[in-house]
Amino acid sequence: MTVALIRNKDQHVSVRRSASAWPIGTVGYLVAAIFTGFCLFPFYVILTTALKTETAIFAWPPVWVFKPTLQSFYNALFVFGGRSAISYLINSIVISAVSTILAVVLGAMAAYGFVRFRFAGKRHLAFWILSTRFAPPVAFIVPIYLMVQKAGLLDSHIALILIYTAMNLSLVIWILRGFFAEIPIEIEEAALVDGYSRLQIFWRVAVPLVRPGIVSTAILSAIFSWNEFLYAMVLTQSRAATLPVYLAGFSNSMGLAWGEYMAVGAMAVLPILVFTFAVQKYLVRGLTFGAVK
């Protein structure tokens, strides 16, 4: 008997069982569970290693049951790296937050502009902006380094903020263009007749209607800024240095402080794990929208 894996968003077509020994559902479930385990396991490794004592970390065979200690976290936060990790954490938060806000506001305005207005060169401009998403950042590091140096902005927050805004802009515009295009034009025409100007319609009608899009692009921008490593390492040393720079510092010093190393790693990853779970549904829509559209 054939196996019909027909799924259906609205629930009523069921899966036809195949006659073989392993019902397809169980096999599917098993594969999904194994893959999910594979995805989560490294996070488990980071967290447990950060909580292990020195000996437990290097033990062979690896120790699974151990008495957790916060020593590594304490050292990472207050002892290592001259200044405490707190300032790196704050820099990361400030820089990704400000660059996200800038990217989303400018991006939303531009996306709306592209969807609602016709003007000369629109297709070319849109294609160029789209292509910036594909430009590998490493190709820009040399010229941007010299530009920032000449502007005297090395090791400054503003440099990273502007660069991250530029890097996130194309994704924000690409995703929000899809969301804005879904708004029926009549609703905006009704607002026009009701006495609102084009820009007021943008703020009062269009933006509220794409709130899910704005939330998901904000999340994605924040995550990409938080995770960025190359520019942070090249353009900052201490004052504006972010978490990745602190983490990179560990590997250079090669002092095998694995516990502290993992503690900082955990700090860098945990906020995202918690954050994503809270706003998960926006995220998926934004991520896929950007890709599938």
Partner 1 sequence: MAEVQLSGIHKQFGAIRALRGIDLVIPDGAYVCLLGPSGSGKTTLLRCVAGLETVDAGHIRIGNRNVEALEPFARNVGLAFQNYALYPHLDVRGNLAFPLRAPRRRAQFDDEEIERLVRSTAALLQIDAMLDKPVVTLSGGQKQRVALGRALIRNPTVLLLDEPVTHLDARLQHEMRVELKLLQRRVGTTTIHVTHDQLEAQALGDLIVVMRDGLIEQVGSPDELCARPATSFVAGFVGDPPMSLLQVRLEREGGSLSLRVGKTRLRPGERLARLLDGFRDQHVEIALPAEDISQGHGGDVQTVSGKVQAHEWVGRELQIAVMVERTLVRLRTQQRLDLRIGDELAIQLNLTRAHVFDSKTGRRLRSSPN
Partner 2 sequence: MRLAVQRRRAAWVLIAPAVAVLLVLNLFPIVYALYISVHYWTLARPQPPRFAGLSNYVDLFFDERFRNAVLVSLKFIVLAVGIELLLGLGLAFVFNMRLRGIATLRKLTLLPSLAMPLVVGLAWFYMFNENFGLVNWIWVMLGGTRVPFLTQGTLALLSIVAADVWQWTPFVMLVFYAALQALPEYVYEAARIDGLSGGQIFFRVTLPLLRPAILIVLVIRAVDALRSLELVFMMTKGGPAGDTEVLPWYLYTTGFLSLDLGYAAAMAVLMLALVTVLCQLFAGLLESQEAAP
Partner 3 sequence: MPRIEFQGVTKIYPDGTRAVANLDLVVEDGELLCLLGPSGCGKSSTIRALAGLEVVSEGVILADNNRIDHLPPQARDCAMVFENYALYPHLTAFENIAMPLRARRLPVPEIKRRVMEIARMLHIEPLMGRRPRQLSGGEKQRVGIGRALVREPAMFLMDEPLGHLEAYLRIELRAEIRRLQERLGITTIYVTHDQEEAAAIADRIVVMSGGRLQQVGSFLDLLDRPVNRFVAEFVGEPPMVFLPVERTDTNSISVKGVPLQLSEPLAAALRATKDTNLTLGVRPNDISVVPPANEHLKGVVTLVQPQGSHAIVAVSTPGGPATVIVPSDWRPAAGANVGLAFAGERLHLFDSTARSLLHNREDSNG
Q: Which residues bind partner 1 (CB under 8 A)?
A: 184, 186-187, 189-197, 200, 205, 208-209
Q: Please, are residues 233 and 245 in contact by the beta-carbon 8 Å criterion?
A: yes
Position of tokens 């297709």? 123
Query: Given candidates 7, 9, 14, 208, which one binds partner 3 under the rule CB under 8 A?
Result: 14
- When the beta carbons of 12 and 67 are compared against partner 3, the nearer one is 12
Position of tokens 């991250």? 164
Number of neighbours of residue 151 by Cβ within 10 angstroms: 11
- Phi, psi at residue 3, to the nearest 5°? -105, 115
How near is the Cβ of 16 to partner 1 at its closest, in Å? 37
- When the beta carbons of 185 and 256 are compared against partner 1, the nearer one is 185
Site string for partner 2, 17-46 (x = CB under 8 A): -------xx--xx-xxx-xx-xxx-xx-xx
**274 lines the binding site for partner 2 (CB under 8 A):** no
98 contacts which partner out of partner 1, partner 2, partner 3, none, CB within 5 to 8 A by kind?
A: none
**7 lines the binding site for partner 3 (CB under 8 A):** no
Burial class of residue 230 (count of CB atoms within 10 Å of its CB; 0-12, 13-18, 19+):
middle
Scanning residues 145 to 174, which ones bind partner 2 (CB under 8 A)? Answer: 145-147, 162-163, 165-166, 169-170, 173
Dist. CA 32–CA 24, nearest whole Å: 12
Near partner 2 by CB under 8 A, which window of 67-75, 81-89, 210-218, 229-237?
A: 229-237
Query: Given candidates 7, 9, 12, 124, which one binds partner 3 under the rule CB under 8 A?
Result: 12
Scanning residues 15 to 74, which ones bind partner 3 (CB under 8 A)? Answer: 16
How near is the Cβ of 268 to partner 2 at its closest, in Å? 5
Nearest CA to 220 among 177, 170, 266? Answer: 170
Dist. CA 91–CA 146, nearest whole Å: 22
Q: Please, are residues 69 and 80 in contact by the beta-carbon 8 Å criterion?
A: no
Site string for partner 2, 65-104 (x = CB under 8 A): ----------------------------------------
- When the beta carbons of 32 and 190 are compared against partner 2, the nearer one is 32
The rounded radius of gyration (Å) of the Cα atoms in the chain is 24
Nearest CA to 110 among 170, 160, 196? Answer: 170
Dist. CA 240–CA 232, nearest whole Å: 8
- When the beta carbons of 16 and 204 are compared against partner 3, the nearer one is 16
> What is the longest distance spanned by two Cα atoms in the chain?
75
How near is the Cβ of 6 to partner 3 at its closest, in Å? 10
**272 lines the binding site for partner 2 (CB under 8 A):** yes
